[in-house]
């Protein structure tokens, strides 16, 4: 394990434009369950998964019922969003914020809707699947903070007249174009991609590592950190795989980088 930590520290110090891709795995140590891990929500609650696949259609068909569901007023799955809002970052999130502080990490593209990377201090975060802290109007693309809109009357309406929804991207819902384009550009610009805590099976997000391989200037080096191997590991998309918890491995990488920087050394 140590040699992989040393190797990752060297690769980061030698990188010109490193980005991180993150998934639910980086937030499990903050008490938010993942989806497809052994204790994941979809793994343990098939009804929740079925409801999640119907959520966007429900919004299009009946936005009032959609809001009653996601606010936990109807059924029990809306409570998930309320729980996510209460969570705090863990050492994995803070480690990525430190890497940004060293000037080594340029951007994070996350599938997580919990806002914990921003809470930990990262400033350039692409929320690929949206955020529970925001609302969005699918008609005009307008976004605002959750608290900025009254939910006394449901559904809330946008100034364009469209019904607003959680900014969260549900299954079968298109990824907002602005987010998709920014993520693709970052993936093709990077020369190092650090992938943390994702099963890498949900598209189009899972296509980003492959885009990084076809980078504008260079074929990015891909480092994968996860509790279990993924299709990226098996297909050889990642250059190397570090197995374990992101909240334990990322701080070790940061410590190794910090020691090198203190010695005035590079990668």
Binding region for ligand APR (CB under 6 A): 23-25, 28-29, 34-37, 40, 111, 129, 197-199, 202, 226-228, 245-247
Pair 180, 210: CB distance under 8 Å: no
Pair 120, 87: CB distance under 8 Å: no
Give 118 or 158: the residue with its C-beta nearer to ligand APR.
118
Residue 172: CB atoms within 10 A of its CB come to 12
Q: Is the sign of the CA dihedral 75, 170, 80, 228 positive or negative?
A: positive
Q: How far is the CB of 119 from ligand APR (least distance, A)?
A: 17
Q: How far is the CB of 197 from ligand APR (least distance, A)?
A: 4
Q: How far is the CB of 232 from ligand APR (least distance, A)?
A: 11
Give 36 or 191: the residue with its C-beta nearer to ligand APR.
36
Give 67 or 205: the residue with its C-beta nearer to ligand APR.
205
**Distance between CA atoms of 260 and 10, rounded to whole angstroms?**
9
**Distance between CA atoms of 48 and 17, rounded to whole angstroms?**
39
**Distance between CA atoms of 153 and 164, rounded to whole angstroms?**
12
Looking up tokens 């910090």 gives 258
Q: How far is the CB of 221 from ligand APR (least distance, A)?
A: 20
Give 180 or 202: the residue with its C-beta nearer to ligand APR.
202
Give 116 or 158: the residue with its C-beta nearer to ligand APR.
116
Question: What is the spatial order of strands in the sheet that 18-22 belongs to?
Answer: 125-127, 105-110, 18-22, 192-196, 221-226, 240-243
Give 17 or 205: the residue with its C-beta nearer to ligand APR.
205
Q: How far is the CB of 236 from ligand APR (least distance, A)?
A: 18
- Catalytic residue set: 129
Q: How far is the CB of 142 from ligand APR (least distance, A)?
A: 22
Of the candidates 174, 223, 247, the residue with the CA atom closest to the CA atom of residue 21: 223
What residue number has its CB nearest to ligand APR?
Answer: 25
**Distance between CA atoms of 128 and 175, rounded to whole angstroms?**
7
Cα–Cα separations (whole angstroms), residue 72 to 55, 75, 76, 78, 165: 13, 6, 6, 4, 14
């Amino acid at each position: 394990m140590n040699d992989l930590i040393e190797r990752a520290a060297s690769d980061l110090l030698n990188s010109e434009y490193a980005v991180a891709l993150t998934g639910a795995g980086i937030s499990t140590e903050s008490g938010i369950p993942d989806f497809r891990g052994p204790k994941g929500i979809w793994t343990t609650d098939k009804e929740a998964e079925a409801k999640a696949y119907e959520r966007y259609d429900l919004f299009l068909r009946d936005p009032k019922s959609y809001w009653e569901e996601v606010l936990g007023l109807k059924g029990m799955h809306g409570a998930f969003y309320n729980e996510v809002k209460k969570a705090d970052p863990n050492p994995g999130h803070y480690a990525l914020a430190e890497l940004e502080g060293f000037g080594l990490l340029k951007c994070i593209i996350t599938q997580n809707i919990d806002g914990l990377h921003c809470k930990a201090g990262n400033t350039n975060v692409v929320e690929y699947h949206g955020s529970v802290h925001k609302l969005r109007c699918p008609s005009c693309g307008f976004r605002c903070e959750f608290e900025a809109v009254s939910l006394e009357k449901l559904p809330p309406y946008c100034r364009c007249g469209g019904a607003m929804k959680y900014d969260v991207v549900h299954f079968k819902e298109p990824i907002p174009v602005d987010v998709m384009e920014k993520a693709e550009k970052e993936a093709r610009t990077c020369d190092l991609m650090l992938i943390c805590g994702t099963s890498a099976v949900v598209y189009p997000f899972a296509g980003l590592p492959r885009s990084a391989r076809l980078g504008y200037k260079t074929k990015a080096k891909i480092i994968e950190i996860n509790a279990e191997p993924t299709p990226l590991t098996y297909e050889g998309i990642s250059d190397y795989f570090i197995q374990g918890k992101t909240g334990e491995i990322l701080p070790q990488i940061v410590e190794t980088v910090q020691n090198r920087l203190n010695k005035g050394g590079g990668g």
